[in-house]
Amino acid sequence: MPEFENVLENREFQTLPSVSVDCVIFGYEGNLLKVLVRREYVPFEGNILIEWKLPGNHVRRNEQIDATASRILKEQTGLENIFMKQFMVFSDPDRLKRRERDYEWVKPRLQDDRVLTVGFYSLVNIHDVDNSKLLEEAKWENAYEIRELMFDHNDIFNEALKKLRYDLLHEPLIFELLPEKFTLTQMQKVYEAIFDTTYDKRNFRRKVNKMPYLIQTDELQSGVSHKPARYYTFDREIYENTRSERFDFRM
């Protein structure tokens, strides 16, 4: 039962009293958008209730907030150096108000001195996850069929998704979920998963071909039992230099 750990005496592991981080870890696998949730065992009236929540933790003293988020991601998935982004800050008093009747029994624990939560989202290609490193208590859940989570974690997820979609229209985040070399069909599938829709292949290609930083390579797929697709890459340098031209890729 992590999350109930006592504050360690080693100063290194002391937490900032007031700040915690919750992570919405988006995963992509099999053309589906997923989110990582984890089991929580909650003692209540002599029983142990099983609840689900977003992974989160306290910020440790002398730890950068981003480092907390990275630490959580690594604990949950084993992954490092993954794109993560702060998307919102929540005051806990507010959040408790929203659902306090449901969770009166946890209130005392939450209210002690924790007053702030920073929400992060991250983008993970589930193929990169070594499943043996995935925590026993963690589970990938289909992003559009999420069970009810503790507290206001469903709201937090929805905010994260909104922000992810916004950012995707303004920054080249899509490439965080694609391998170094990718086909346009792979790219399309990722967009479709995140926006929960489908696109016409020809119209999609017409649109993304306007991105000057999307580079066609000479390489073709191999080992596939059909016509091999061409590989493309993302050229970050071109992106940085054409930034001012302001592509808003409304999908």
Where do contacts with DNA occur on this chain (CB under 7 A)?
183-185, 200-203, 205-207, 220, 222-230, 250
Span from 110-118, 131-139, 216-224, 233-241 in contact with a second copy (CB under 8 A): 110-118
Q: Checking DSSP bridges between strand 47-53 and strand 32-44, what pairing results, if any? A: antiparallel
158 binds a second copy (CB under 8 A): no
Nearest-angstrom CA–CA distance, 221 and 229:
5
Report, in angstroms and rounded to the nearest whole number, the Rg of the chain calculated over CA atoms.
20
Least distance from a second copy to the Cβ atom of residue 157, Å: 16
Contact between 75 and 135 under an 8 Å Cβ cutoff? The reply is yes
Q: What are phi and psi of 44, to 5 degrees?
A: -150, 120
Task: Choose the one of DNA, a second copy, none that binds residue 170, judging by a C-beta under 5 to 8 angstroms depending on kind.
Answer: a second copy
Show the tokens assigned to 124. 């993970």
Smaller CB distance to DNA: residue 50 or 224? 224
Task: Choose the one of DNA, a second copy, none that binds residue 106, judging by a C-beta under 5 to 8 angstroms depending on kind.
Answer: none
Span from 81-89, 124-132, 198-206, 224-232 in contact with a second copy (CB under 8 A): 81-89
Amino acid at 105: W
Show the tokens assigned to 110. 């939450």
Task: Choose the one of DNA, a second copy, none that binds residue 59, judging by a C-beta under 5 to 8 angstroms depending on kind.
Answer: a second copy
Tracing tokens 């890729």 back to the chain, one arrives at 249
CA atoms within 13 A on the CB side of 197: 8
Least distance from a second copy to the Cβ atom of residue 237, Å: 19
151 binds a second copy (CB under 8 A): no
Nearest-angstrom CA–CA distance, 176 and 191:
12
Smaller CB distance to DNA: residue 32 or 82? 32
Smaller CB distance to a second copy: residue 115 or 146? 115
The DSSP string of 101-122 is: TTTTTTHHHHHTT--EEEEEEE
150 binds a second copy (CB under 8 A): no
Task: Choose the one of DNA, a second copy, none that binds residue 227, judging by a C-beta under 5 to 8 angstroms depending on kind.
Answer: DNA
94 binds a second copy (CB under 8 A): yes
**Which of 106, 116, 134, 146 is close enough to bind a second copy by CB under 8 A?**
116
Q: What are phi and psi of 208, to 5 degrees?
A: -70, -20
Task: Choose the one of DNA, a second copy, none that binds residue 101, judging by a C-beta under 5 to 8 angstroms depending on kind.
Answer: none
Residues 6+ apart with CB under 8 A from 155: 98
Contact between 123 and 167 under an 8 Å Cβ cutoff? The reply is no
Least distance from a second copy to the Cβ atom of residue 94, Å: 6
Q: Site residues (CB under 8 A) for a second copy?
A: 16-19, 59, 61-62, 64-67, 86-91, 93-94, 115-116, 118, 162, 166, 170
